[in-house]
């Protein structure tokens, strides 16, 4: 388990001892976003930020699986019934959103029921953690937070990784860590202080067999990730784990994203621009939260929907045929815009006539596919790469992060396309619709992400020369293309953009409860199954027909 960590350089905004290196599945941030610098700092629990954010904690629990794990612990280690375990969640601090409680109940009953169905093959739960330790210049620890089980006598050790929704395949490097720890780990209690090492106790028991299973809490269907002998587990780690761990702990250039909100380097990270007032709000002490324009739109529709989406609870299909077609069109053009040299899109690049070119998640009917082809053909004349010689840099589906220090928000933006001309950024959004535009409507009202684009470009949050920047909007219809250009240096457009953002972000920042706003939109809400206030027919729960 020896690793070279010479590439890691402690930033000046971190203090403390980095002699302890602790790695487990998830240290690399594989769930949603991976920042090499974040992962390397996270692997060193003794490091602390020189300057901490002194902000209040959220009133509601935001760790989706935390309450579920607590409830399973009560059942497996305290002998409580599922009802008793769930009752304990009502007094938990921080409090759980009613929808979070509904999900936790479903997850607990589903998981406990599946475990009870194992019959004679049922393994016993193990409360202590398994921890593998070694000293090699630094003091190394490897562990896994996942649930632990073993057979009588310890001949079989099994890790179970719980997923919010359906089980899926984990990154091989993470599975490799788990199988290594299952073979070599000794029992240990959770350290009282995270910066301290685990204190293993008892004899070292080497199992004959190791298994790693993903369990989706939507239906408790398992997916085996590894099942083999101890020797096969060590070979698997040698193939997949060593390089993964070395990559995590040696770090790399910061890559800001959604994980910034939980990163201990955040207060000093020079890769995150600080722009007070990006969301148009005055300064106020509030919990640090991440937010995107989609988050603000969900909250505006229903605060409960916004909160439950942020928990990544299992969702029903939220895309109608129009939305699926729009995603398919976006995907086709994105692939064209990723080509080396940025050649302009041509009619020959578009799907052949009479062919259903959509597939997978975004597959639509043959009729809709034909409509999408018409839209794609109209993109040819509006393609931004007509004169690629002027373009210096291209980033399809770019990710940008800005810290609004007034709103205390980590603002996540993902333009459809960013490209640079003569040192200035062009922010381009692509929209698809079958409707004709009302001439009196303001695009900033219709598409609030354009308001964010205007503000970020105007404030120079993307670097480059803001004076030459612009926002482009391409609206594709079956019968034509409707291009628009917005000047972010125009004071009138800046005021309008801030007004739009303030209208969305103000209620979002003030909200700590995530109360439901039931109505007809409940019918199409992808997380309504978890919301106690949602009625199946979309009416307000508790109300009858008029």
pLDDT on residue 203: 85
Residues written for the chain: 546
DSSP-assigned states of every residue in 299-343: HHH-HHHHHHHHTT--------HHHHHHHHHHHHHHHHHTSTT-P
pLDDT on residue 539: 52
More confident residue, 360 or 334: 334
In which band, very low, low, confident or very high, does the pLDDT at 32 lie, cut at 50, 70 and 90?
low
Tell me the mean pLDDT in the region 462-487.
Answer: 92
pLDDT on residue 146: 96
Which residues of the chain form CATH 3.90.320.10? Answer: 289-509
Cα–Cα distance measured from residue 18 to residue 197, given in angstroms and rounded to the nearest whole number: 12
pLDDT on residue 117: 66
pLDDT at 454 over 70: yes
pLDDT on residue 274: 95
In which band, very low, low, confident or very high, does the pLDDT at 392 lie, cut at 50, 70 and 90?
very high
Cα–Cα distance measured from residue 121 to residue 272, given in angstroms and rounded to the nearest whole number: 51
Cα–Cα distance measured from residue 139 to residue 374, given in angstroms and rounded to the nearest whole number: 61
Dump pLDDT digits (tens) for 440-451. Answer: 789 999 999 999
pTM: 0.91
DSSP-assigned states of every residue in 385-408: TTTGGGEEEEEET--EEEEETTTT
pLDDT on residue 118: 65
Query: Which of 43, 39, 46, 36 is closest to 14 using CA atoms?
Result: 46
Count of CA atoms in the C-beta half-sphere (13 A) of 375: 27
pLDDT at 545 over 50: no
pLDDT at 527 over 80: yes
pLDDT at 521 over 60: yes
Which one of 92-101, 354-363, 526-535 scores highest in mean pLDDT?
A: 92-101
Dump pLDDT digits (tens) for 171-219. Answer: 999 999 999 999 999 999 999 999 999 999 988 889 999 999 999 999 8
pLDDT at 298 over 90: yes
The dihedrals phi and psi of 321, each to the nearest 5 degrees, come to -65, -35
Cis peptide before 94 (omega within 30 of 0): yes
Checking DSSP bridges between strand 289-292 and strand 409-413, what pairing results, if any?
parallel
The 3-class SS string of 18-36 reads: CCEEEECCCCCCCCCCCCH
Checking DSSP bridges between strand 129-136 and strand 156-163, what pairing results, if any?
unpaired
pLDDT at 54 over 70: yes
pLDDT on residue 541: 45
**Region at 220 (left for phi over 0; alpha for psi -120 to 50; beta for the rest):** left
Q: Which of 99-108, 319-328, 378-387, 421-430 has the lowest mean pLDDT?
A: 319-328
Burial readout 328-359 (b: 16 or more C-beta within 10 A, e: otherwise): bbbbbbeebbeeeebeebeeebbbeeeebbbe
pLDDT at 23 over 60: yes
Q: The tokens of 112 are what?
A: 């406990």
Specify the CATH number of the domain 289-509. 3.90.320.10
In which band, very low, low, confident or very high, does the pLDDT at 413 lie, cut at 50, 70 and 90?
very high
Query: Which of 332, 326, 307, 452 is closest to 396 using CA atoms?
Result: 332
pLDDT on residue 316: 87
CA angle 267/271/273 to nearest 5° reads 75
Q: Which of 10-14, 179-183, 305-309 has the lowest mean pLDDT?
A: 10-14
Instruction: Assess contact for 421 and 271: CB atoms under 8 A.
Output: no
pLDDT at 2 over 90: no
CB neighbourhood size of 492 (10 A): 8
Query: Which of 124, 142, 125, 122 is closest to 133 using CA atoms?
Result: 142
State the residue for tokens 């909250």.
299
Q: Measuring CA to CA, how many Å separate 167 from each of 70, 214, 225, 310, 542?
A: 20, 5, 10, 19, 35
Output DSSP code: residue 56. P
Cα–Cα distance measured from residue 132 to residue 188, given in angstroms and rounded to the nearest whole number: 10
pLDDT on residue 405: 95
pLDDT on residue 544: 37
**Which helix (H) or strand (E) is 143 found in, with range?**
strand 138-143
For the chain, give the mean pLDDT.
Answer: 91
Query: Which of 108, 308, 309, 312 is closest to 217 using CA atoms?
Result: 108
In which band, very low, low, confident or very high, does the pLDDT at 437 lie, cut at 50, 70 and 90?
low
More confident residue, 34 or 50: 50
pLDDT on residue 466: 85
pLDDT at 378 over 50: yes
pLDDT at 72 over 60: yes
Tell me the mean pLDDT in the region 211-236.
Answer: 95
pLDDT on residue 141: 96
pLDDT at 98 over 50: yes
Query: Which of 27, 311, 43 is closest to 145 using CA atoms?
Result: 27
Strand order from edge to edge, sheet including 138-143: 20-23, 138-143, 129-136, 186-188
The 3-class SS string of 164-213 reads: CCCCCCCCHHHHHHHHHHHHHCEEECCCCCCCCCCCCECCCCCCCEEEEE
pLDDT on residue 29: 53
Diameter of the chain measured on Cα atoms: 76
Dump pLDDT digits (tens) for 153-170. Answer: 899 999 999 999 888 888
Q: Which of 120-129, 292-301, 409-418 has the lowest mean pLDDT?
A: 120-129
Beta-bridge partner residues of 418:
395, 427
């Amino acid at each position: 388990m020896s690793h070279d960590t010479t590439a890691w350089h402690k930033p000046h905004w971190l203090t403390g001892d980095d002699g302890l290196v602790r790695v487990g599945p998830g240290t690399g941030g594989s769930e949603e976003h991976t920042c090499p610098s974040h992962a390397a700092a996270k692997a060193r629990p003794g490091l602390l930020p020189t300057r901490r954010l002194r902000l209040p904690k959220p009133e509601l629990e935001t760790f989706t699986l935390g309450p579920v794990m607590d409830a399973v612990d009560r059942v497996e280690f305290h002998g409580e019934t599922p009802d008793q375990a769930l009752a304990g969640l009502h007094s938990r601090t921080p409090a759980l959103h009613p929808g979070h409680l509904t999900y936790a109940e479903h997850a607990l009953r589903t998981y406990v029921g599946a475990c009870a169905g194992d019959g004679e093959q049922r393994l016993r739960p193990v409360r202590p953690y398994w921890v593998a330790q070694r000293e090699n210049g630094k003091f190394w620890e490897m562990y896994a937070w996942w649930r632990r089980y073993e057979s009588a006598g310890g001949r079989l050790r099994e890790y179970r990784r719980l997923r919010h929704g359906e089980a899926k395949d984990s990154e091989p490097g993470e599975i490799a860590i788990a199988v290594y720890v299952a073979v070599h780990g000794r029992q240990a209690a959770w350290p009282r202080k995270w910066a301290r090492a685990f204190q293993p106790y008892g004899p070292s028991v080497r199992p004959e067999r190791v298994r790693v299973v993903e369990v989706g809490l939507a239906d408790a269907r398992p997916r085996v990730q590894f099942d083999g002998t101890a020797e096969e587990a060590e070979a698997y780690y040698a193939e997949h784990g060593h390089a993964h761990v070395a990559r995590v702990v040696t770090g790399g250039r910061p890559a800001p994203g959604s994980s910034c909100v939980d990163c201990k380097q955040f207060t000093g990270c020079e890769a995150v621009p600080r722009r007070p007032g990006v969301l148009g709000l005055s300064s106020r002490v509030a919990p640090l939260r991440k937010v995107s324009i989609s988050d603000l739109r969900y909250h505006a529709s229903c605060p409960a929907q916004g909160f439950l989406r942020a928990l990544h609870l299992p969702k029903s299909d939220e895309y109608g045929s129009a939305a699926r077609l729009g995603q398919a069109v976006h995907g086709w053009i994105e692939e064209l815009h990723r080509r080396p040299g940025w050649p302009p899109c041509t009619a020959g690049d578009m799907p052949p006539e009479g062919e259903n070119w959509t597939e997978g998640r975004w597959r639509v009917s043959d009729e809709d596919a034909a409509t999408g082809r018409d839209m794609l053909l109209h993109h040819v004349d509006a393609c931004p790469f007509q004169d690629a010689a002027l373009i210096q840099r291209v980033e399809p589906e770019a990710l940008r992060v800005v810290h609004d220090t007034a709103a205390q928000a980590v603002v996540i933006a993902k333009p459809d396309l960013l490209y640079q001309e003569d040192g200035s950024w062009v922010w381009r959004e692509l929209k698809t619709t079958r409707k004709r535009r009302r001439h009196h409507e303001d695009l900033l009202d219709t598409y609030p992400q354009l308001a964010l684009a205007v503000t970020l470009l105007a404030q120079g949050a993307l670097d480059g020369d803001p004076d030459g920047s612009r926002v482009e909007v391409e609206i594709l219809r079956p019968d034509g293309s409707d291009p628009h250009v917005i000047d972010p240096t125009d004071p009138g457009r800046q005021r309008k953009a801030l007004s739009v953002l303030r209208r969305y972000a103000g209620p979002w920042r003030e909200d700590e409860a995530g109360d439901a706003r039931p109505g007809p939109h409940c019918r199409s809400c992808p997380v309504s199954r978890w919301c106690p206030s949602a009625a199946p027919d979309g009416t307000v729960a508790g109300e009858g027909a008029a």
